[in-house]
Amino acid sequence: MKKIFTLLVISVLVLSSCTKQKKNEQFHFYVATDVHMTKSSEKYTNWCFRDKILQDIKKDSMGTGKFIVVTGDLDPFKNVRQSVEQVMGKNYRFYPVLGNHDVGYTNNKFEKYPDANWGNTFDIVKYNKSTLKNIVNWGPVYRTPALDSLTYTDSLGNTYLTTYDSLDIIGSKYTTYSFDQDNSHFVVLDIYSGLESFEEKHSGRVFKELYDWLEKDLSETEKENIFVFAHQPVWETMGEDTMSLVNNDYKAHCIRNARTMGADSTVWFKKNYTDRVVSRKKFWNLMKEHNVIAYFCGHIHHYSAKKIDGVWEINMEYGGWENPDHTRYGRVIVDDKKVNLDVMVFKNDPDRFELTEEIKLK
């Protein structure tokens, strides 16, 4: 009888432990993109990320989630980092992704292009090394010649010439990384490391070194859910919705950039100035083989969500301006093996975000 009682107690404890474990596996996180905190005009404010998106997340009835990932164009990074700290608290987890504005694609012509400060790379590296948590793997080591011998202006306004080695930016070691949360694995890719020059405005690539690192990282994880983040889309994302935008100068902006941004999104893997560039088909197949749920991106300031050969490509549009119906962020809810995406869109009169779409990612 005593043995039966003991077995019953153990069974109850085991069941209780399993129940608690499953409950703990449910969590959520947030995704935003292109928060550009440099530009402003009479119609738009460059503080949208701080005053609208982060404030809305802070008031979310579900809570503030485990962390937020911003998929590129965090110019200037110090404003973005300070915004997260001011609104969400200094201990809130924030994972940055390098965008084309963050690497200074204008080859340091700051007077002509004041929003393109390559120094963001330096600032992001320092932040990542000292702050990021739950890191599983840091990125591959290979040289980025475009980051050699540029003029860097620090946060105090001091200007000095740097060399590649003085930046302590070893390839994409600290700008490509992976981390874990409960039953899920997350991968952030720096698609600008390895570039010879930043002269091309949109010059992201997946080099062989980055591909090999990703293949190894995905092969080693045993997590149930996998998500990948980078700045640029892999596939065509400029569709009919782009031409139907009716918000005055925003419509003109989209029409003006429909060819350049749309074309860029489809050919950034194809510009074979080096045999180290991996094709987008090979890159996408790698994610498919390892059951990646979604690839989150930005860059083109246009919302898109579509499943391509088993993997979702999600572009959260734009988080930099308070533009009704076109400023979005995402809330991803992971419930054991189920994954849902809530797409939140900005409205005004009164200012608010509302749930505009629910997507079952898995």
Q: Is residue 313 predicted with pLDDT exceeding 70?
A: yes
Least confident range from 210-224, 239-253, 344-358: namely 239-253
Per-residue burial over 78-112, b if 16 or more Cβ lie within 10 Å, else e, is: bbbbebbeebbeeebbbbbbbbbbbbbbbebebee
Cα–Cα distance, 295 to 314 (Å, whole number): 6
Rounded to an integer, the average pLDDT of 51-65 is 96
Q: How large a percentage of the chain has pLDDT more than 90?
A: 46
Q: Is residue 82 predicted with pLDDT exceeding 50?
A: yes
In a domain, 12, yes or no: no
Helices (H), the chain: 2-24, 48, 55-58, 77-88, 119-131, 208-220, 240-243, 249-267, 280-289
In a domain, 165, yes or no: yes
What pLDDT score does 241 carry?
A: 40
What pLDDT score does 156 carry?
A: 62
Rounded to an integer, the average pLDDT of 71-82 is 89
What pLDDT score does 245 carry?
A: 32
Q: Is residue 353 predicted with pLDDT exceeding 60?
A: yes
Rounded to an integer, the average pLDDT of 100-122 is 60
What pLDDT score does 41 carry?
A: 47
Q: Which CATH number goes with the domain that contains 222?
A: 3.60.21.10
**What is the distance of C-alpha 247 from the center of its chain?**
26
Q: What residues does 360 pair with on adjacent strands?
A: 340
What pLDDT score does 113 carry?
A: 46
What pLDDT score does 237 carry?
A: 62
Name the burial class of residue 258, with classes exposed (0-12), middle (13-18) and buried (19+) by CB atoms within 10 angstroms of its CB: middle
- How is residue 58 written in tokens? 């802070």
In a domain, 33, yes or no: yes
In a domain, 160, yes or no: yes
What pLDDT score does 103 carry?
A: 80
In a domain, 213, yes or no: yes
At 113-143, the pLDDT tens digits run: 444 456 678 789 889 999 999 999 999 988 7
Residue with tokens 């802070």: 58
At 155-205, the pLDDT tens digits run: 566 665 555 555 556 568 899 999 999 999 999 999 988 877 766 656 788
In a domain, 9, yes or no: no
More confident residue, 288 or 349: 288
What pLDDT score does 331 carry?
A: 98
Cα–Cα distance, 55 to 30 (Å, whole number): 13
Nearest Cα to Cα of residue 290 among 338, 227, 242: 227
In a domain, 6, yes or no: no
Nearest Cα to Cα of residue 53 among 36, 40, 38: 36
| Residue-number span of the structural domain to which 348 is assigned | 26-360
More confident residue, 248 or 95: 95
Mean of all residue pLDDT scores within the chain: 79
In a domain, 340, yes or no: yes
| Cβ neighbour number for residue 362 with a 10 Å cutoff | 15
Domain count, the chain: 1
Contact (Cβ atoms closer than 8 angstroms) between residue 234 and residue 295 = yes
Rounded to an integer, the average pLDDT of 209-235 is 95
More confident residue, 85 or 78: 85
At 237-275, the pLDDT tens digits run: 654 343 333 333 433 333 334 333 444 554 556 555 577
- How is residue 355 written in tokens? 């749930």
